[in-house]
Amino acid sequence: MRLRFRRRKIKREPIGIYIVLGLIALVMILPLYLLVINAFKPLEELFLFPPRYYVMNPTTTNFTDLLVATNAAWIPFSRYLFNSVFITVVVVTAHVVVACMCAYPLAKSRAPGVKLIFNFVVASLMFSPLVTNIPRYLIVNSLGMIDTYWALILPGIAGSMGVFLMKQFLEQVPTSLIEAARIDGSSEWNLFWKLIMPLSRPAWATLTIFAWLSSWNDEWSPLVFTRSEAMKTLPLAIHTMFSGSNIIARAGASAAASLLQTAPTIMIFLFLQKRVISTMAHAGIK
C-alpha cells in the first residue's frame, strides 16, 4: 500500500504589508526620536544644516541650562512642576470617578429619560471645547475662584467623552452579574466600588490616558484663570520662558524642557497601553 501524503499549503506571511507598516511606524516615531536626541545635543549641533539624526557630542548641559533659566525667575522650577503634577493627578482621578458614576446608570438603569440624557451627551461631542471657554470663564469668575487651584481643577472634572467611553464599555457587563450582587444584599454603593469599578478597569485606564493628555498639556486654563506667577503650570511656564528674542540662545534648554514635558505622558501610555485595545474593542470605537 502506498501512503499518500497531502501537501499542506503553507500560508505565506504578507511580508510587503509588514514592510509598509514598519516604514510608517518609523516615520511616526521619528519626531519622538528627534525630541530625545535634541535634548542631549550641544548648541552648535542644534543649528547644523542639514540636521543630523544622531548626537556627535552628547551632553547634559541643556538640562543644567534649564535649571539656571528657571531658577533665575521669580518662581523656582519645582513650583511649576508641583502645580502641574498636583492639578493633573486630581483632575484625572476625579474625572475617571465622575465618568464611571455617570456612565453606570446610563448603561444599566431602566429609568425613563436615560436614553434622552445619553443623546444629549453624544450631541455635546460635536461641539469644540473652544466654544465653552467664555461661559467657563464667566462661571469661574462669578464663583470667585480666579487664581486658585479650584479654577484649574473643577472645569476639567466632567467630560462628555469620558461618559460616552465608559457607558459603551459598561454595556458589555452582564446584567445578571449585577442582579446577583443585589440579591446577595449588596448596596448600590458597594456594588459600584467592588464590582463595576474593577470590571471597568481597562476602560478607566484608557480614560486616564486621555484625561492626562488633556490636563497636563493645558495652557489655556492657567493663562486665563491665574494671575500670580506661583499658580502657573509647567507647560505655560516653559512656553512663556522660551518664547521671544532669547529663543535662539536658549534652544538647548528649550529642547530639554520639551523632553521633560513629554516624558510623563509617554511613561503613562507605555504603562497602560495593554488595556487600550481591549477598551476600544468593547466600546465599539474603530
Residue 105 lies in a domain: yes
Each residue of 160-179: pLDDT tens digit? 888 888 888 888 888 888 88
CB 43 within 8 A of CB 66: no
- Say yes or no to pLDDT of 218 above 50: yes
Within a domain: 40: no
Helix H or strand E segment including 148: none
Q: Is residue 1 part of a domain?
A: no
Domain assignment present for 48: no
- Considering the domain boundaries, does residue 172 fall inside one? yes
Residue type, 163: V
Q: Respond yes or no on whether the N-terminal peptide bond of residue 222 is cis (omega within 30° of 0).
A: no
Domain count, the chain: 1
- Kindly state whether residue 50 falls inside one of the protein's structural domains: no
SS3 content of the chain, % helix, strand, coil (to 5): 70, 0, 30
Looking up residue 118, the CATH number of its domain turns out to be 1.10.3720.10
Residue 75 in any domain: the answer is yes
Where in the sequence is the domain holding 169, given as residue range(s)? Answer: 67-283
pLDDT tens by residue, 109-152: 888 888 898 889 888 888 877 788 888 889 988 988 888 899 99
Residue 267 lies in a domain: yes
Tell me, what's the pLDDT at 286?
42
Whether a cis peptide bond, with omega within 30° of 0, leads into 50 is yes
Q: Which pTM was predicted?
A: 0.78
The 3-class secondary structure across 132-147, one letter per residue, is HHHHHHHHHHHCCCCC
Query: For 12-20, what is the mean pLDDT?
Result: 78
